[in-house]
Amino acid sequence: MDFRLDRLGTLCIAKPLGWRGPGGNCAIPILMYHSITEEDQAGVRGYYRTATAPHIFTAQMGILKEAGYVTIGLGEAVRRLKESSPDISCSVVITFDDGFRDFYTKAAPVLHEHGFSATVFLPTAYIGDSPCIFKGKDCLTWDEVGELQKQGISFGSHTVNHPKLYGMSFEKITQEVMVSKDTIEQKTGCATESFAYPYAFPEDSSFRKKLRHTLLLAGYKNGVCTTIGRFSAKSDPLFIERLPVNSNDESQFFRSKLQGSYDWVARPQRALKLVRNWMESKRRGEDS
């Protein structure tokens, strides 16, 4: 097992002290998966890995089942929090970014076996009539999307081309969020209400405000990003926090994340982004 500061802080400090982020008991964990694969990510630090081995994914779904969790969609999660529903404590949302084909072959059968649903975020340029390659891996086809939809899987937008939206013109951002939404709606015949922000979510309040407006104008009702935490009444429903999961999440760490003991990581994550922003602006100043 790799040494990870976030695991150490979670299991040795936050959990024993009972420290949790916003919401306390009244928050919904939203799990963020990418790829369910045996692929070895040994060269990538544990925190940044996006691959979950099939047997670990199966074990994680078993933990959810055993703990009595029920999977819901993002729209339902928003409703439950708004109404302070008593069902919040057993609710979980499972999300998959990037539309990889291993969702169809490896994740969907396990979800089905456990009676769970999930939301898959599609970068529509990579979803075709035959498998397209994104980040070196096969993506879902529209036929597979249709089949999964019949099994109760929901789909949201992950833009068209999966670009880094931060720094792009809002004209281009509008195209990315609108065209992907239209394409998914045409192919599935269902309204696309959810959006997942690609790459790290920037610490820039004016960008967030403009993006929020753009998403609402395009007709999105909710969305998720890479900010760490659980979904609470303090969250912005367009940029909801998630809990990243990968093969590094053994049962104790996984359970602690669900219970809120990982929420503290949001603070160092934010501080790191602010330092990076500052260094980037300094570098730009020196270049000009």
Among 198, 229, 244, 260, indicate the residue that binds Zn ion (CB under 5 A). Answer: 198
Using the contact rule CB under 5 A, the part of the chain among 107-115, 181-189, 196-204, 276-284 near Zn ion is: 196-204
How many Cβ atoms from other residues are within 10 Å of residue 126's Cβ? 22
Cβ 97 to Zn ion shortest distance, Å: 4
Binding residues for Zn ion restricted to 58-97, rule: CB under 5 A: 97
Contacts 24+ apart (CB under 8 A), 255-259: 255/63, 255/67, 256/10, 256/11, 256/14, 256/15, 257/10, 257/29, 258/29, 258/63, 258/64, 258/67, 258/69, 258/92, 259/15, 259/20
Rounded to the nearest 5°, which phi and psi values hold at 208?
A: -60, -40
**Contacts (Cβ under 8 Å, ≥6 apart) of 37:** 51, 52, 53, 54, 100, 102, 106, 137
**Angle formed at CA 225 by CA 184 and CA 130, multiple of 5 degrees:** 35
Cβ 23 to Zn ion shortest distance, Å: 25
Closer residue to Zn ion (CB): 194 or 259: 194
Closer residue to Zn ion (CB): 165 or 258: 165
Closer residue to Zn ion (CB): 14 or 94: 94
Closer residue to Zn ion (CB): 14 or 36: 36
Alpha carbons 91 and 71: distance in angstroms, whole number: 6
Helix (H, G, I), strand (E, B) or coil at 178: helix
Closer residue to Zn ion (CB): 97 or 102: 97
* Residue 156 is a binding residue for Zn ion (CB under 5 A): no
Token pair, residue 22, equals 């916003």
Alpha carbons 16 and 18: distance in angstroms, whole number: 5
Say how many residues touch Zn ion, by CB under 5 A: 3
Cβ 226 to Zn ion shortest distance, Å: 9
Q: Which residue is nearest to Zn ion (CB)?
A: 97
State how far Cα 1 lies from the chain centre: 24
Among 37, 80, 95, 98, indicate the residue that binds Zn ion (CB under 5 A). Answer: 98
* Residue 99 is a binding residue for Zn ion (CB under 5 A): no
Site string for Zn ion, 116-155 (x = CB under 5 A): ----------------------------------------
Cβ 134 to Zn ion shortest distance, Å: 9
- Contacts to Zn ion by CB under 5 A: 97-98, 198
